Structure 1
Amino acid sequence: MTTVETHVTGTVMKVTLNGPDRLNSLSPEVIDGLHAALDAAERDTSLRSIVITGVGKAFCVGMDIGFLGECFGDPPGVFVPFIRRFHGFLDRLEAFPLPSVAAVNGLARAGGFELLLACDFVVAADEARVGDTHSDFGIIPGAGASQRAPRKLGDQRARALLLTGRWLTGPEMVDWGLALASAPSAGLDDAVARLTDSLAGRSRTVTATIKHLLNAAPDLPLTEGLRLERELFTRFHEEVADADEGYRAYVEKREPVWGDPR
């Protein structure tokens, strides 16, 4: 059975799916553990990013095969409620005020693919293999792949992944715009650390507000998106001291001291 483990180093919470014998597969208990990790991250105001990864040769292969049998035995009573719970977590992760990084250490498919699609950044091992694969097993995506993949990859590449069962390596993920960077497996942690280090000293309130604007952008006409940016810009300067602190710290040549997250 896969468990969810968390470890905080500096400003980074690492969330690890630990079930290498099950290829870090998903179950209701795993979703509960992932929610608990976000609960803890909300309480810890020192954090600036979350990294999600797996143990062993897989990142996450989707649903646990034993639990999947229960799902097919009772789709309305078990399968559909689980998918709703998984959707709830992915929606929460996508909207979460801290940036999330999927450190894709190996195999990711189906629900694992949908998990990385909901993260803000993806850094992959060169040797990773990532695909949707739902159609290989006679089922359609249920946790967001059909909607997030076109937004992240564009129409043709999303169709190639979802309709043909195509697999991508780490470098191909970068080429397709699915990952920010890839590195040999031995260098994956260092590549992730370079990204999280660049997020470490920033205002959590600023980061959360920018994430909100970026998440809203695909669903808004440009005029409405610009209106929202102006509205939040005005409110930010009325209610949050971080902008003034950032200016003063620059002028005084010191590190800024950000206020509590809002």
Structure 2
Amino acid sequence: MAGTRLEASRKGPLLYGTFAQERGVHSFSLDLLDDIDRFLDLIDDERDIRAAIVTARGKVFNLGTDKTQIESGLRDFVQFRRYLDRFNDTMDRLERAPVPTIAAVNGLTRAGGIEIVLACDVTVIAKSARIGDVHSAQFAIPAGGSTQRLPRRIGLPRAKDLIWSGRFLDAAEAVEWGLCHALADDDALLQTAEALAATYIDKPRQCLFESKSLINRSVTMAPADGIELEKQQFLHYVQNYPYVRDAFEAFQASRKPAEARA
């Protein structure tokens, strides 16, 4: 196995994507982006998937673009632009995935690694892990979404500080800043991510998708426009998915609603 690949596996309604390779540290290449796209194809095609967890083997989550890709890109900027377009298209697609996505950060994470974390909905981080943007430490700037997603996750001043300083946050600080959602013992990272996912996957997939799409769009819309869209989407949803009425009646009758597969 040359370079980092994403291995997909199922655990009931959960889909796992795990960074893996035989030697070296996890990094991005065109092959890895192909794997992520296939992973997202599975989410689109298999309607019983309710959530996805992205993690890695070993002590590194992901350190960003492979050095060979960077070296070739610095010699050929047309090729570099194609790679950056492809990377960002894949991150955009991950951000729009129709189920909740959880990054389970097991170790050192920087550059493209933080950019895939930011494209996921929520993040669980192991206590020994460290995370940062780090581009400026190499006199570079982000090109995979950090300048856009990081301020929306942690606010403008902290995003500027993290990008300008080029430093890493330890796991506790990452949670305190809101970059990560939950802190986990190293040997309980996946169990913590699964426990978080369990609070989502008992809902209908369409319910999760409808609310996710509205939340994602909220950062680009005026509040009044967003509320109007929310009302329209709500009415469309309740009219087209009969299990909403059953769930309401079940709540009134103190019973469990019928299982909704949509």
Which TM-score bucket, shorter chain as reference? Answer: over 0.9
Contact 1:108 1:131 in 2 (8 A): yes
- Conserved in 2, the CA contact under 8 Å of 1:20 and 1:55? no
Post-superposition offset of 1:29: 0.5
Deviation track 1:174-193 (CA, whole Å, cap 9, x = no partner) reads 10001110112111112111
Q: How far, CA to CA, are the matches of 1:84 and 1:232 in structure 2?
A: 31
Corresponding residue SS for 1:219: coil
Task: Tell me the amino acid that sits aligned with residue 234 of structure 2.
Answer: F
Question: Which string of whole-angstrom CA distances, capped at 9 and with x for unpartnered residues, describes residues 134-168 of structure 1?
Answer: 11112210010001111111011101110011211
Q: Give per-residue Cα distances to partners, 1:192-217, cap 9 Å, x unaligned.
A: 11101111211100100000110011
Residues 219 and 45 (structure 1), Cα distance of their counterparts in 2 relative to 1, 3 Å cut = same
| 1:67 CA displacement | 2.1
Which residue in the other structure is 1:178 paired with? 179
1:242 alignment counterpart? 243
Q: What's the counterpart of residue 65 of structure 1?
A: 67
Residue identity matched to 2:107: G
Alpha-carbon RMSD across the aligned residues, in angstroms, is: 1.3
Contact kept? 2:136, 2:166, Cα under 8 Å: yes
Unpaired runs of at least 5, structure 2: none
Q: How does 1:143-154 map to 2 (within 5 A)?
A: 143-154=144-155
Q: Residue 22 of structure 1: CA displacement? A: 2.9
Give 2:169's aligned residue. 168
Instruction: Give yes or no for the alignment of 1:206 onto 2:207.
Output: yes
Query: 1:26-41 to 2 correspondence within 5 Å?
Result: 26-41=28-43
For each residue in 1:65-116, what CA deviation from the matched residue of structure 2 results, as whole angstroms up to 9, or x when unmatched? Answer: 122211112121x211111111111111111110000000001100001110
2: CA distance, partners of 1:187 / 1:20: 24
Match of 2:88 in 1: 87
| Conserved? CA contact 1:60–1:109, under 8 Å | yes
Shift of 1:256: 2.3
- Aligned positions, number: 259
The equivalences for 1:94-113 within 5 A come to 94-113=95-114
Residue aligning to 2:138? 137
Displacement of 1:170 in angstroms is: 1.2
Equivalent AA in structure 2 for residue 94 of structure 1: E
Detail structure 1 runs of 4+ shifted over 4 Å in the superposition: none
